[in-house]
Structures are given as structure tokens and as C-alpha cells.
């Protein structure tokens, strides 16, 4: 943790002060700087996970206004103060610590929530509670399939999730695409449309999207998604690739008219293309600019300054895409459907939302991903893959090789002999390495995180520190050997919370516990009282 002695005094904000800001709708970012797994165990409703180890990489993208109000928290792990100091060093001028952290929030009477993306999941449960969203159980859907009934099953998750496991015969139609594509996939209005996800939220929101948008078919959610399917003892498919077709112009126009009416009803505001330049330089508000189309369409061409945020995932992970509560969110698409549908949900979640109107094909002129603004990494010596390979061949015990990739990436591939390490637990990670180390070499996928971690490590050791030039990607490209698995863990694998609804090897108890938790979210929302959600 660098430059602590030279940093200013960081003030504290109480639970009552933070709650007052949330209730007033003023801009505030409540940042939980722990790793994702401890964050998922319990945190305030609008606390966005913002791990210490990625602050330099994420800050300028996710916290675009440098004088926005930021409150940092942990649960006594000692990460909040270093994180606040690091944010101050990056130019943020209104940074405070949550008094007492997670425990202080609870002791002051604040409600704590489990899991990830809790604002969105809570909102989904509230939608079902208020609108009585129709649903069918897994056995009921299986009976429809077995009986050859006139149905179509639409999977509202990301394509990679669908590819991993899916309901038999289902088609991948990620959430924001549903209203645009449904009439192509079910042109007969008597065809029953069934929307599923892995658990509950995206199937509820997807089903209600189609109902709200006026799609004439009978529409139901698959109750409890692939979890419910598995708990019913029914078999899932794997490796499927079925995807949605292009929308006809007639169906697009119908969907656009319905989506715009919905957005207007929700109170979504509108912008012209010419107004975007003014917003891009606005320093009085935090402005997020999101392109809600598919990643492939975004890559082919997008508006300047707009980031890819497929609409279904933006509704599902709102606090991660836009951690500043009370910010302005601006949405764009090329069809008039996806942005309006997404916006009508975000507005109901008490966000200040705008849709850009009147866009033409030539407006989507910027190809490829938007380049993130990053602070300059600290100067550090580098070593190339060939030299590192020679060192490891000659005296592997002398090289302390630390990998700061995600735990998932580390287990997929890493340099033989590498230790998985979390930047947030660097001091304890060093103690796990065997004796005899004479130099440290740091890596990750590209060595970006490793470069920032090198500055932290310099405060903990007098030994030489080097970063692998180009990271593990360069090592791989050079044809050097790799290994897989959790072979050497200098830090625990807590950087990612294992969702009970992903993958194919979840325990029955964990899946059922997750569903039970979701059922209780409406009551928790009422206890918390800060959300401002309003279902139309």
C-alpha cells in the first residue's frame, strides 16, 4: 500500500449520512473494496463490488467524475483506508470511509444483503410481486415439450451461459433482444412463449418485458430457471448454439412503437445526437454512456464515448456497470427497441435515464472496443519470456513467480511454478512462498495488474522485482509450457463468488438455498427502504 504517510486525512461517513444521500437521490458511490466472495456474503444494498486489486484499472471507467461522492467500505480487513488513499492519489477529491464498515452498517440498523447484483435481483422479485408475472414449473414445461405443444423457449441469459447449459429445444435470446426478436420466433400469436434464465431475475424481467411490450402471445417464465429444472430431476442440454434471427422491418417498427410508449410511460427522458457532445464534457454530473446492442454489433461500430452494455445484463448488473447511484445513464441502439426497453426498466429502478433519439447508421462510426483510460503504471523492470524460462530452468527455487490473474484464469492456465496471489492479500501471500527466493517476477494475463501490484510489493521486500513483459499471454505466444489447476495458492480463491446457478456441478442444497434467498428479497427491500423502486 503506497504513499500512506503522505496522504491527506480521509473523513468518515456514518450509516445515517449515507442513507440520507440515497433517500435524497444525490450522487453517491458506495464501494465495497473486498474481493467478490466476501462481498457476496453480506453488504449494503447499493454497495458495488470494487476490489482493491483493480482500483487503477476500473476507477476512471466506472467512476468517471473525479469529484463524485465516494464512500469506501470493508469489514475490518484493512482494505478500506488504502483503497480510499489510492482513489485520492488517482484524483478523486470527495472520498470518505464508511464508519464501522459492514459491521457498523448493521449495528446502526442498516439492512445487509447476500449474493451479487442484489439491487437488480431484488427489483426482479418486486416486479413479480407487483405484476404477478405468470410462470410455469419445470414439470409443466417438460409436459408441454413431451406433448409436442405449440411452444417456443427463449433463454434470456448471455450466449456463453446458454451454451454451457440450456433447456432442451430453447433458443438463445439475451434479455434486451426479446422484444425485438419475439415476433420472428413466434409469428403465430397462439404460440406459447416461455422465457428462462438460470434462476429467477432474467426470466421474470424477460417475461414481463414481452408482456409490457404488447407481444400478443401467451407468455410465461420458467419458474426458477435451470435451477428449477435441475431440482425437478430433468436433464439439461449442453453446447447448444441456437440463436435469434434478424428482425423484419415490419416487426421492428411494431416493437419500436411499443417500446417507446413503454419508456415514455416510465418517464424516460430523451436526447438528440447533437446534445451528446455537451454531456461528454459535463463535469457537474456523473454520466454513463451505454450501447445496449449485442457485443458483435457494438464491435462493428458504435457512438463515440459509448461502452458496450447489452441491455439484459445492464438491467441484471446495474450497480456494477454504473456504481454511482443517482448518476445520469444514457442509452443508445440502432433500432429504437432495445434502448427504450432497457431504459423503462432502469427508470423503474429509480435511475435518471435518457435514450438517444434519431440515430442514423453513420452515427455508429467508431469500430472496436472503447479504450479505457488508465493511470500510468509505476516504473518497473521487466523480463521477457525467454529469459524467465532460462531462470526457471536453471534455479526455479530462486524465482518467486506470482500470478495476479483472476482465480478462474489461473486455474485454466498458468506458468509452471507460479503462485496465485491476490493483490489485496500480498503480505500474507509472500509468507506462503518457500525459502530461497532471490527475486520476484510478477505476471497476469497481460501484466497490467502485475505492474500496479509491483509498487505494493516494493514496500514489502528489498529483493529485486520484475514484471513479465506481455504477461502470461506473451509466455503462451512464445510457445512456453503451461499448467492448469489450483496448483499453488498463495492466496485463497475468493476473488470470485461461486454462483449457485452457474456451471454444471452445483449442489442441490446450494441451489435450493439460493431460491429461498431470492424469495425473501421483497421483504428485505421493505426493511432497507432506500431503493425508490416503482413498478409500473
Answer yes or no: are the C-beta atoms of 50 and 39 closer than 8 Å. Answer: no
Sequence-distant (≥ 6) Cβ neighbours of residue 224 within 8 angstroms: 137, 138, 199, 200, 231, 515
Other beta carbons within 10 angstroms of residue 24's beta carbon come to 9
The per-residue pLDDT for 507 is: 76
Mean pLDDT of the chain: 95
**Position 179 confidence tier, pLDDT thresholds 50, 70, 90:** very high
Report, in angstroms and rounded to the nearest whole number, the Rg of the chain calculated over CA atoms: 24
The per-residue pLDDT for 504 is: 61
CATH fold of 123-246 reads Oxidized Rhodanese; domain 1 (3.40.250)
What is the arithmetic mean of pLDDT over 25-36?
98
Sign of the dihedral through C-alpha 520, 526, 532, 536: positive
Tell which residue, 124, 112, 126, has the closest CA to residue 45. 112
Tell me if 270-363 shares its fold with 381-477: yes
**Position 5 confidence tier, pLDDT thresholds 50, 70, 90:** very low
Sequence-distant (≥ 6) Cβ neighbours of residue 316 within 8 angstroms: 117, 120, 175, 201, 202, 205
* Pure H helices in 100-248: 101-107, 118-131, 138-146, 159-164, 178-185, 201-212, 225-231
**Position 1 confidence tier, pLDDT thresholds 50, 70, 90:** very low
Answer yes or no: are the C-beta atoms of 459 and 442 closer than 8 Å. Answer: no
**Position 334 confidence tier, pLDDT thresholds 50, 70, 90:** very high
The per-residue pLDDT for 517 is: 82
What is the arithmetic mean of pLDDT over 133-152?
98
The CATH architecture to which 4-115 belongs is 3-Layer(aba) Sandwich (3.40)
* Residue recorded with cell 409469428: 187
pLDDT over 80 at 319, yes or no:
yes
Sign of the dihedral through C-alpha 318, 323, 325, 326: negative
Q: Which of the pair, 82 or 519, is modelled with greater confidence?
A: 82
Other beta carbons within 10 angstroms of residue 210's beta carbon come to 23
Which of the following CATH numbers is that of domain 381-477: 3.40.30.10, 3.30.710.10, 3.40.50.2300, 3.40.250.10? 3.40.250.10
What is the arithmetic mean of pLDDT over 52-57?
97
* C-alpha count within 13 angstroms, C-beta hemisphere, residue 246: 4
Look at 108-117, 296-305, 363-372, 467-476 and tell me which has the smallest mean pLDDT: 363-372
CA angle 278, 284, 286 (to 5 degrees): 85
* Residue recorded with cell 453446447: 239
pLDDT over 70 at 110, yes or no:
yes
**Which H, E and C letters describe 419-461, residue by residue?**
EECCHHHHHHHHCCCCCCCCEEEEECCCCHHHHHHHHHHHCCC
pTM comes to 0.94
Class of domain 270-363: alpha beta
Domain boundaries, the chain: 4-115, 123-246, 270-363, 381-477
Amino acid at each position: 500500500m503506497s504513499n500512506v504517510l503522505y496522504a491527506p486525512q480521509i473523513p468518515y461517513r456514518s450509516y445515517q449520512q449515507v442513507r440520507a444521500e440515497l433517500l435524497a437521490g444525490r450522487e453517491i458511490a458506495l464501494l465495497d473494496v473486498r474481493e467478490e466472495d466476501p462481498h457476496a456474503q453480506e453488504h449494503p444494498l447499493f454497495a458495488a463490488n470494487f476490489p482493491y486489486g483493480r482500483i487503477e484499472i476500473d476507477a476512471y471507467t466506472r467512476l468517471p467524475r473525479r469529484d463524485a461522492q465516494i464512500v469506501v467500505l470493508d469489514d475490518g480487513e484493512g482494505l478500506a483506508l488504502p483503497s480510499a488513499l489510492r482513489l485520492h492519489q488517482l484524483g478523486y477529491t470527495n472520498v470518505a470511509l464508511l464508519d464501522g464498515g459492514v459491521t457498523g452498517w448493521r449495528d446502526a440498523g442498516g439492512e445487509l444483503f447476500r449474493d451479487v447484483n442484489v439491487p437488480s435481483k431484488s427489483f426482479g422479485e418486486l416486479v413479480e410481486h407487483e405484476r404477478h408475472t405468470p410462470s410455469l414449473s419445470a414439470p409443466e414445461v417438460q409436459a408441454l415439450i413431451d406433448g409436442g405443444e405449440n411452444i417456443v423457449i427463449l433463454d434470456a441469459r448471455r450466449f456463453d451461459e446458454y451454451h454451457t447449459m440450456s433447456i432442451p429445444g430453447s433458443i438463445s435470446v439475451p434479455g434486451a433482444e426479446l422484444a425485438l426478436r419475439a415476433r420472428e420466433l413466434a409469428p403465430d400469436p397462439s404460440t406459447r412463449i416461455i422465457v428462462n434464465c438460470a434462476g429467477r431475475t432474467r426470466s421474470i424481467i424477460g417475461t414481463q418485458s414481452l408482456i409490457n411490450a404488447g407481444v400478443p402471445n401467451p407468455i410465461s417464465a420458467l419458474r426458477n430457471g435451470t435451477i428449477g429444472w435441475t431440482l425437478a430431476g430433468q436433464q439439461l442440454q449442453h453446447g447448444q448454439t441456437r440463436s435469434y434471427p434478424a428482425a423484419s422491418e415490419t416487426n421492428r417498427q411494431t416493437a419500436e412503437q411499443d417500446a417507446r410508449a413503454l419508456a415514455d410511460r416510465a418517464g424516460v427522458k430523451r436526447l438528440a445526437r447533437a446534445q451528446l457532445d455537451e454531456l461528454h464534457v459535463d463535469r457537474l454530473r456523473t454520466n454513463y454512456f451505454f450501447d445496449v446492442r449485442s457485443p458483435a454489433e457494438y464491435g462493428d461500430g458504435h457512438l463515440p464515448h459509448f461502452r458496450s452494455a447489452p441491455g439484459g445484463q445492464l438491467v441484471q448488473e446495474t450497480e456494477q456497470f454504473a456504481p454511482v447511484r443517482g448518476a445520469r445513464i444514457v442509452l443508445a441502439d440502432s433500432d429504437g427497441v432495445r434502448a427504450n426497453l432497457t431504459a423503462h426498466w432502469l427508470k423503474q429502478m429509480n435511475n435518471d435515464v435518457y435514450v438517444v433519439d434519431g440515430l442514423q447508421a453513420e452515427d455508429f462510426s467508431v469500430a472496436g472496443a472503447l479504450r479505457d483510460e488508465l493511470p500510468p503504471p509505476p516504473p518497473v523492470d521487466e523480463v521477457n519470456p525467454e529469459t524467465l524460462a532460462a531462470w526457471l530452468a536453471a534455479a526455479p527455487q530462486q524465482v518467486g513467480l506470482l500470478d495476479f490473474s483472476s482465480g478462474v484464469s489461473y486455474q485454466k492456465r498458468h506458468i509452471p511454478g507460479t503462485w496465485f496471489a491476490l493483490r489485496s492479500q500480498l503480505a500474507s501471500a509472500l509468507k506462503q512462498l518457500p525459502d530461497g527466493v532471490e527475486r520476484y517476477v510478477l505476471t497476469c494475463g497481460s501484466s497490467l495488474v502485475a505492474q500496479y501490484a509491483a509498487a505494493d510489493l516494493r514496500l514489502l521486500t528489498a529483493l529485486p522485482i520484475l514484471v513479465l513483459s506481455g504477461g502470461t499471454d506473451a509466455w503462451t505466444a512464445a510457445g512456453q509450457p503451461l499448467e492448469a489447476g489450483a496448483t499453488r495458492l498463495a492466496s485463497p480463491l475468493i476473488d470470485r463468488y461461486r454462483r449457485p446457478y452457474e456451471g454444471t456441478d452445483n449442489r442441490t442444497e446450494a441451489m435450493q438455498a439460493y431460491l429461498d434467498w431470492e424469495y425473501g428479497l421483497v421483504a428485505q427491500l421493505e426493511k432497507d427502504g432506500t431503493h425508490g423502486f416503482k413498478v409500473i
